[in-house]
Each structure stands twice: as structure tokens, then as C-alpha cells.
Amino acid sequence: MRLRNKPWAKDKLSDNPQYVVHEPEQYRGRWNEPFKQNQHLHIEIGTGKGRFITEMAKANPEINYIGIELQESVIVSALDRVIEAEVNNCKLMNVDAAELGKYFARGDVDRVYLNFSDPWPKTRHEKRRLTYKSFLSIYEEILVPNGEIHFKTDNQGLFEYSLTSFSAYGLLLKYVSLDLHQSDFEGNIMTEYEEKFSSRGNRIYRAEVQYRTK
């Protein structure tokens, strides 16, 4: 999908340091500092326009959230949502997920959310998938012991690939749904993509997986 260039995006992100974390490497190992409360920390990788992370923050004020998005032209929409919601337990980072180890120390993060990630369907692009083993290793390095990944997608191929990748890595499959919206799962918060895809009749697949203490 071609993104519309927003030349003003960088300035807007810079003008809202209360919601956008600049130079996040300074908080590595001490993420309680930029938040008003010292609480568990959940991150969403590929936060898009921010609906999920903002609604999660509103629903769970006892948890701190960070939405991570690489594209400036996308994350400014998430910033609008966070500003409107006036939540002090939600912040945004405009960084590359492949470099999370620069910004988070071991045990900084309690949970990782992966929602409707790019499936990168071509075999030669496998290493770009956010559920590829190298990314699973990155998450393991920043999560608490027995930390979790919560994963949603409408792409059956990516879901099947991810379940295989999770299992091969040694993760515990705690929850698997092949049709989330027809299941008895409670408390689901939809992303923008989820609402669009489900309205077309697409199934939504969901998994919760947990790292095992080694």
C-alpha cells in the first residue's frame, strides 16, 4: 500500500514529547521514568493508526503501553488518537522493531502484541515477518521470564506459518482461535484493519504464546 507523504509529520511528533518518546535508548532498563506510574509494560509492534493501543490503555489504566510504528506518516494518526484520549499510560515510538534491543533491556516488557502484521508472503521475504525466529529472539531478549506474545491476523497463511514458527522456537501455545469473532473470547479490542477485514467476512485468527523459562 502506498503511503501518502506527510511532510509535517516529523514536526508534529517532535512537538508532542509527552506522548512520543524521543531518544528511547535513554530509558533502557528504566521505563518507569517516562510514565507517571511504575506499572507492567505492554508494547504493540506495528501500531498503525493507534486504535488498539489507545483503547487498551483506556481499558487498563493499571498497565503502561507503548505503540511502536516505523512509518511517520502512519504514527501521526496514532498520535491524534492518543492526544484525544488523554491517556497518561500510553506512549508512542517511531522506531524499527528490528532494533528493539537498543531501547529495552531484558525484563522491561511484559507482553508483546502483533496485530495484522505485514504477511510478506514471498518466501524470499520470510525474514521480514514479525513472527520469524530472529524476531522471536528479539522479543525474548526484552520480555520478562515467561513473557507472552498476543498475535492477531486475518491472513491464514501467516497464521499457519506463525504457529509453526512459535512451536519450532519452543513457545507454549496457550490459546488459539481460528475464528475469533465467533468464539467465546471476551474483551477483544479491534484494530482498524480488523474491523475492515471482518466486515468483509474474513476470519480473524488469534494466538497467545508464552516463552518458557530456560
Query: Cβ(68)–Cβ(102) under 8 Å?
Result: no
Q: What does the block give as the cell for 207? A: 494466538
Mind giving me the DSSP string for 113-126? EEES-----SGGGG
Query: Cβ(56)–Cβ(28) under 8 Å?
Result: no
Instruction: Determine which one of 80, 110, 118, 184 is catalytic.
Output: 118
**Catalytic site residue 118?**
yes
Q: What does the block give as the cell for 206? A: 488469534
Label residues 28-60 b or e (16+ Cβ within 10 Å = b). eeebeeebeeebebbbbbbbbbbbbbbbbbeeb
Which residues are annotated as catalytic? 118
